[in-house]
Structure formats: C-alpha cells, structure tokens
Chain A
Amino acid sequence: MNASERSDDVAISRDEEMLVAYLDGKLDEDAARELAERLAGDEALRKRVNRLAQAWALLDELPRAKLDESFTRSTIEMVAVAAEADVERDVSRRKRRQWFAGMSGAAALAVATGVGFWVTNQMLPDPNRQLVEDLPIVEEMDLYQQIGSIEYLEQLADSNMFPEEAENDL
C-alpha cells in the first residue's frame, strides 16, 4: 500500500462524511436541513459542494466499452479450450491415481502373501518336518529292530565301550 492509499484509511471528519452523504443523496432529513442552512450562509462551502458535484457528474463523460460478438466468441472459445484442458488433466490425474492404487494393491498383495506364507510356515505343523528329523533313525530302522530295545542301546552308550562312536554321535 502506498502513501496515498494509507492516507485513504484515515477517517474523514463528520463534516466531510455529511458532505459525501449529501452528494450521494443519502443524508437524512434533519442533517440535510442543517447542511442546507450552512450552505446558504457559507459561499465557500457552497462553491466546494458545487465543484464536487460537477466533478462527479463529469465522470458520466467516460466512455462505456462496446464489445462486438467476436469478444464473446473468443472468450467462450478460450474458456472451452481451458475447460477441455482441465478435463484432460483431471482424467490423466485420475488415471495416475488408479495406476498408483493398482500398483499399491499389487504390492500389498505380494507382501501379504509373503507374510502369510511365513506365518503359515512358522505356526502350522509341517508333516514332513518330523520325517526329516527322524530320517537318521528311519535309515537305520532295520538295525534298530534287530536290537529290539532302546534301553539296551542306552546301556551300551553309558558303558563307554564304544567311545569313538559316542563322540561321533555328539
């Protein structure tokens, strides 16, 4: 805001307010009578009011724009082009959003699948796991059956008769 505009913000005096209301025809009856009495006895004020009114009336001389049809047409064309561009932009934005949504969905599905597989693998019993763990026994099953008793094998191990085998077992 420049200095001139700042000075616009300073309130006008009561007299000035009365003058502008008078000139705009917005003065109430009592105030109008009061001003008329002052104008009758104050030539300088009367001259000032007349000049203000004349200057204002001269603004009627300012030309009003006359526009031909081409202005309307070119404006509507411009608006139509802009509206079309807006629609294209919206469509492209919507497509981009849909693509991102699709990609996000696919990524989320992949992650969920991975997590689900891991959880399932960890939580649910795997029937083959026991088999893998028991594989050394299964492989020697014929031999164990010939011995007949697991307690006997334990006694042999405790007797320390075959220390090298015991170490290998460890």
Chain B
Amino acid sequence: MPTAVAAAGVGTAARAGVEVRLENLRRRYGGVTALDGLNLTMAPGELVALLGPSGCGKTTALRLVAGLEQADSGRVVVAGEDVTGQPTNKRDVGMVFQAYSLFPHMTAWQNVAFGLQMRKVDTARRRKRAGDMLELVGLSGFANRFAHQLSGGQQQRVALARALAIEPKVLLLDEPLSALDAKVRARLRGSPRSS
C-alpha cells in the first residue's frame, strides 16, 4: 500500500509561490540508498504529492528541502537560489511533521506565534497573525490550551497554523495525518488545501 507525502511550493494568502527545484539529489544511509539522483521541479504555487511505498525516500526528499539533512550530492534550488548548504532556520521553509511536534510547554497560541517571534515580528502583529491562523484552522477557541489538552487532530491543525503563520516560501507536509484515526483523517484531508 503506497503512502503519501505532500510537498508544495506554495503561495500563501500574503505571498506568491516560488519555484522549487531538486537537482540530481543523492542520499545514502550506510548501505541503503534513499535517493538516487532525484530531479523534480515544482512550479510556483503548485501543490505536489510524492507517492510511494514505505522507505522509497519521500521523507528524505522533504528533509533535504527543509535542510534537516544534508544531501551527499545534488542541489536544492528555491526561488532561483541554491539553498543546499543553508541551515534549516535560514531557509524560510515551513514543515508539518508526521509525529506530534507542538512545544508541550507552550499554549496553542504561543506555538503559532513562536515562528513570528523568531522573525522579530512586533507583539501586536504577532498576536493578530497567530489569532488569524488559529481561526483559519478552526481552533480560535483553543488558543490557551496546551498540547496535552488537544486531540491528535487538533494538534496537527495547530501545527499547520504554526507552519503557515510564518508565510514560508515552501510548505512541506510530511504525512501530517498519518498518526490520526481514519475518521479524523478523512475530515481533515481538505484542510491543508483550504488553508
């Protein structure tokens, strides 16, 4: 049964999309080749899903785009700029992870505002933007709850709001719904696109 990973060179409401180009990417883990010369071009604003069986390198491809891993060879080009050697925090790439990744000591609102704080957005704008994002994912009434007070589906929606809040050039979704049960997964499937 193939699993799916969605990756997108997206345009968010406030920002036009950018082109993402993966050029001849190679990545090996010991004796296992995860990626063997991957070439892929994503047009600005395009929503691309990588489909394939478990272990075929979908997550590796996303992690290379995010800068969470380094390629053995090849290039990652975002908006015409070679970002292959850039650290993750300088890439302007938002990511929603497969595992629950909300910061447990922060409320939903603080989680969403974190990326904005890192970008030194002033308090008033931060507050408004985080509020807007939570409203977008239908969780404005849950702003003051901690991760352990949210269900799995709610946590992943907050994670999506957190990734969208920073208006990234590229948004990466690494099987964000796979940890949820089938019913909730079916209900949330449309939310990344509508966001």
Do A and B pair up? The answer is: no
Interface residues of B, Cβ cutoff 8 Å to A: none
